[in-house]
Amino acid sequence: MGNRDLIRTSAHGRVNLIGEHTDYNGGFVLPTSIPQSTRVEIRPKTKSDLQVSIESSGFQKVIRYEIGSEKKNDDWADYVRGITWILAREGHQVPGFDVRINSTVPVGSGLSSSAALEVALLRGLRDAFSLPLTEVQIAQLGQKVENDFVGARVGIMDQMAASLADPKHALFLDTRNLSYQKVPLPLDRADLIVINSGISHKNVGSNSGADYNTRRGECERSCERLGVNQLRDLGPEALKSAAFLALPEVLQKRSRHVILENARVLSTVQALEAGDLAAVGRLFGESHRSMRDDYEVSIPEIDVLVEIAAAQPGVFGARLTGGGFGGSIVALARAGEGRRVADQIAKLYSEQTNEKATVLVPGAGL
């Protein structure tokens, strides 16, 4: 594409520090931004056809379609088709355009590659066609793309993080009312580490996608039996109630994870504000064990990666991040040791599993 009338926008991926599978239960989450991003270049045109060029993680694809003829194809381009589809459904008129998309957020890494694409493209279309959309509305549209077009029943954390998060703060978000607070990260005392396990996850169109939607259904059935609208309505004391103890075991486990994970988010915010990194590390460990044992979204390779990370001197704690069934881990290490520790974790993991781990955020230099 030439430079004339070219609109350029971008959005970053995110790593969730803690608060997993709480967003679609109306709960609390605590993501932050990562350096990897999705960039788009848009050239508007008057015809209603699109040419989309996508380049991500070494693969390239070009698609063409007419606005109004969007059909799900179970591929990465569904996120683009879903955006033009949802804009029309919500009453936003978008004529044709050509777009080039380049992403360094690894697909299937649990770091919101889809949300980064949605937010970057929606920002570009807002700028190109003067659409009256705020950053929060862009996030809401992105979630609708996933829920209503792609078929993944995700919450809104990823899109809100792609819209609002930055690398110096954790975004403490209440997904029920979308209020948020930016909590400073102790980057002078700790390095953030993000390592991709090399095992891809999907939210839809695969076994992991079916499992993801199953988890949401289990939470909804728990709410029906417990007489609440969302699991957010329950605190840890509910785990001793007769209604909770009467749940089938699988619903007890799913509910227990969500209820206690919400409490862990609140505790993590307090620990960050107090500078208590050891407490943050302990909460990371509790969260991972809950995702492994109660929510059952971890896999053996991820467990090995977390165990290796948590055992390293200088690491406060580590956990699976993202929806699960593969993807990445997040860890917190002493300041100045992030790169060395991350490389050691990746090396030991590869030796033990024969999988290739990739250090995405080494900590130093954030």
Under 8 Å CB-to-CB from 228, ≥6 apart: which residues? 234
Range 61-89 burial, b when 16+ CB lie within 10 A, else e: eeeebebeebeeeeebbbbbbbbbbbbee
What is the structure's pLDDT at 226? Answer: 98
What is the structure's pLDDT at 185? Answer: 96
What is the structure's pLDDT at 201? Answer: 62
What is the structure's pLDDT at 210? Answer: 64
Q: Provide the 3-class DSSP secondary structure of residue 100.
A: strand
Under 8 Å CB-to-CB from 36, ≥6 apart: which residues? 12, 13, 103, 104, 105, 106, 111, 116, 360
Give the single-character DSSP code of 87: H
What is the structure's pLDDT at 265? Answer: 98
Report the alpha-carbon distance of residue 221 to residue 147 in Å, rounded. Answer: 19
| Residue in this structure with the two tokens 């955020």, named with its chain if needed | 361
What is the structure's pLDDT at 110? Answer: 79
Report the alpha-carbon distance of residue 192 to residue 17 in Å, rounded. Answer: 9
CB atoms within 10 A of CB 188: 8
| Residue in this structure with the two tokens 């997993």, named with its chain if needed | 20
What is the structure's pLDDT at 156? Answer: 95
Residue type, 296: E
- Domains for the chain: give ranges and CATH numbers: 7-183 (3.30.230.10), 186-361 (3.30.70.890)
Mean pLDDT by 10 residues, the chain (366 residues): 76 97 97 96 91 82 92 91 97 93 87 93 97 97 96 92 96 97 96 94 48 91 98 98 98 98 98 97 98 97 98 98 94 96 97 95 55
Report the alpha-carbon distance of residue 228 to residue 224 in Å, rounded. Answer: 7
| DSSP-assigned beta bridge partners for residue 49 | 66
Cβ atoms of 152 and 74 within 8 Å: the answer is no
- How far CA 302 is from CA of 108, 191, 285, 306, in Å, comes to 14, 20, 13, 6
Cβ atoms of 248 and 6 within 8 Å: the answer is no
Report the alpha-carbon distance of residue 308 to residue 302 in Å, rounded. Answer: 10
What is the structure's pLDDT at 208? Answer: 46
- As annotated, the active-site residues are 158
What is the structure's pLDDT at 153? Answer: 84
